[in-house]
Structure 1
């Protein structure tokens, strides 16, 4: 009997050690086991295995990831809009005419209906004004200060804590396997660059985003770059592959997004092998299905609309992450 107990204890101990080792070796601990996680891990293993027919040299392991709705939340409006509205309020004392002039009158009053009534031109004017006539250094400091103090209107969380824990793990996993991670976002390039390295471990030179023009300026012997309000690139939809071409110069082998605004980036990345390109490629889309822990939205959403991409994903072999089903945890500070 004593020997049987010893044998049982030994088996249990071995099982426990094995389970702990497995947990420690899991590169994506906040992801539930299933086809989604398996597909991503399998892809990474295939392209990094020198004995695999799908091996891709490290210099070509480029992955592009959208930001809004893919790396951090985006509801009820894009977080950069909240920043822009707060900055307009800071600027308002120097612009008394804004009290009676649209779109600024509605923007300062947080009148969403009034701002929407000004149309896309009005909204764009308000956003560009909030991001213009400021040096690059001052703009970065402004964004950093805002992130340190501002809170989400309904979640009461710091915006840079509303990043997705599973995606942070994915970034680490990819970099550990010699992938070079790039953000390719419809958000402003300078806005994202202000926090991307600290938040995601992605340096500013690996951020591609909507870009306004800039000019060189010398003030008291100090050279500066001044942001202007002239648009150079809208890095959304068809603009994303253009941004990748301009900034990166290589076609990615993996792209991750969450909306129809990312459709062209995934098309550009997952070029069919029938074209003669034999490189292993992967497209991934995040489907927001968790109304309890985050938000649930797709086809009818004004922000992050996910309709055509949801339809095309199965036929194109794109992996669709079901947030509710595939993630154990959403934000770093929650379970």
Structure 2
């Protein structure tokens, strides 16, 4: 071996080892939540995940029990306007254009005449009637095609980009961080399950089998000589409020260790409570929409979600104060 090379070899090896250790230390210090402002809520998330994933910790949770559940509308992307609501209205208007007699029948009549009072008076009943009429009496394939067409063609009225580009960047980072720590991430939403499945994997990295949502009854039968799934006009499950814990039990079979929702209609209180009362450590996150400039600002009339958070010690995330950015630029 060349004498110069022989003498330089130990130095080169030391340099390589130093670079490797430096790289490892750098990776350890990489911020997994760069879009979150430094503060109590970010610190609470990091500390919780550290203690439930560190072997030997009193709060250690086995990988198979690390279930994280997220609401969708207002938790992972904006709910002003409600994206599926826009899809529903467009579907209804297309139905009326095809069959003008529908404009004289409720709930189609209320939509065409912009009679918001009809839906306010009937609470969820009128919306559910509309969804059943618009989503039922068709094959699953037809419904999926309608959703895909809508998502590709429509843009948000305020931000002027496709809805699928409006995932909250801090929440995308949070889900990626949890998955990297061995958590299984799920969506549990009041939205139609097929609607959310159309974008959940591409947008959030959550596969379709890990999406829980509202459903219509379906039948397996022959249509035009071919077996298919036929969407009935009967609601199988309206996945909101107290129904959310029920469906989490049905679909997951375990109580979430980490759970996230948002304030608007009180729809997530039940599932946050379900997680909070599990045996062992748990983390509840509630998003407060209070940033009119970068997103939207609104509150529940009865303030039920924020009151529940205060009473139970849940972590309330302020979009204005806790997030450096809302959407990826």
TM-score where L is the length of structure 1:
0.85
Matches within 5 A, 1:1-335: 21=26, 25-76=30-81, 78-108=82-112, 111-113=114-116, 115-116=118-119, 119-120=122-123, 121-259=125-263, 260-271=266-277, 277=279, 279-300=280-301, 307-333=303-329
Indicate if the aligned counterparts of 1:36 and 1:321 stay in contact, CA closer than 8 A: yes
Q: Cα RMSD over matched residues? A: 2.2
Q: CA contact under 8 A between 1:257 and 1:286: conserved in structure 2?
A: yes
> Partners of 1:24 and 1:53 in 2: how far apart?
24
Rounded to whole Å, the distance in 2 between the matches of 1:98 and 1:117 is 21
Q: Is the 8 A contact 1:27 1:173 kept in 2?
A: yes
Shift in Å at residue 87 of structure 1?
A: 1.2
2:269 and 2:308 in contact (8 A); partners too: no
Deviation of 1:293 after TM superposition, in Å, equals 0.4
- Number of residue-to-residue matches in the alignment: 304
Say whether the 8 Å CA contact 1:103–1:118 is kept in structure 2: no
Gaps of 5+ in 1: 1-16
Distance in 1 (alpha carbons) for counterparts of 2:182 and 2:28: 22
Describe the SS at the equivalent of 1:144: helix
Matched residue SS, 2:68: strand
Determine helix, strand or coil for the equivalent of 2:267: helix
**CA drift at 1:233:** 1.3
In the alignment, the residues of structure 2 paired with residue 123 and residue 313 of structure 1 have an alpha-carbon distance, to the nearest angstrom, of 28
Check the 8 A contact 2:289/2:319 in 1, yes or no: yes
CA contact (8 A) 1:107 1:115 kept: no
- Structure 2: runs of 5 or more not aligned: 1-21
Question: C-alpha distance in 2, partners of 1:212/1:219?
Answer: 18
Deviations 1:227-260 (A, max 9, x none): 1121111111100000101111111111100022
Contact 1:47–1:55 (CA under 8 A) maintained in structure 2: yes
Q: How does the TM-score come out when normalised to structure 2?
A: 0.86
Distance 1:198 1:257 in 2: 21
| Offset, 1:96 | 2.1
d(CA) in 2 for partners of 1:253 and 1:32?
23
User: How far apart in 2 are the matches of 1:62 and 1:164?
Assistant: 20
Instruction: Pick the structure with greater CA Rg.
Output: 2
